[in-house]
Amino acid sequence: MPEKNDHYYMQLAIQEALKAQQIGEVPIGAVLVCQDEVVATSFNLRETLQTTASHAEMLVIDKGNDHFNSWRLEHCTLYVTLEPCQMCAGAIVQARLKRVVFGAFDQKAGCAGSLMNLLEDERFNHQVEVRSGVEEAICGQLLSDFFRSLRQKKKALKEKNRDEQSQPAE
């Protein structure tokens, strides 16, 4: 059995991200671990559920709350393939998570070091230990490939529509 370390659990989060990708969601996955036991897994479902808070982190925190029958997740580590945004970082602090381990940085919305670091901000009553860049290349490539494919589909649709409009009517 492979050693259960940050890379092992991030691989599980990557598997969750691939589930999101299979249904057309942005490929972001999350895994909640407590004392070397996976207690919850989830992936991004924002498009599927059409709810703002359906980020992988938010969903896995909710599952963790259900598992422990508590809003406190103070002995848990959250593994997520993309740096948490401000909403998720806030929920992570509120849930009192011990650690967050993420893969790819998010230069446009990341709040665990890129734009700001809400998780380790000492002005809050709780700080979360952060480890960044675990399996970063794989996590980043998943996202890059997804968005490249999305842009190509939009471009092809635009070209098809343009071609149909330029054809003479019969």
111 annotated to bind ligand: no
In whole angstroms, what is the distance from residue 32 CA to residue 145 CA? 25
Residue 52, token pair as written in the block = 């703002």
Alpha helices in the chain (DSSP H): 6-22, 46-49, 56-68, 86-94, 136-166
Query: In sequence order, what DSSP letters do the residues of 134-162 get, joined into one string?
Result: TTHHHHHHHHHHHHHHHHHHHHHHHHHHH
The angle subtended at Cα 152 by Cα 166 and Cα 104, nearest 5°, is 160
Q: Which of 16, 25, 57, 135 is catalytic?
A: 57
Total number of residues shown for the chain: 170
Report the DSSP beta bridge partners of residue 31. 41, 79
Q: How many CB atoms lie within 10 A of CB 86?
A: 14
Intra-chain end-to-end CA distance of the chain, in Å: 67
Active site residue 122: no
88 annotated to bind ligand: yes
- Residues making up the binding site: 55, 85, 88
Known binding positions for Zn(2+): 55, 85, 88
Give the active site residues. Answer: 57
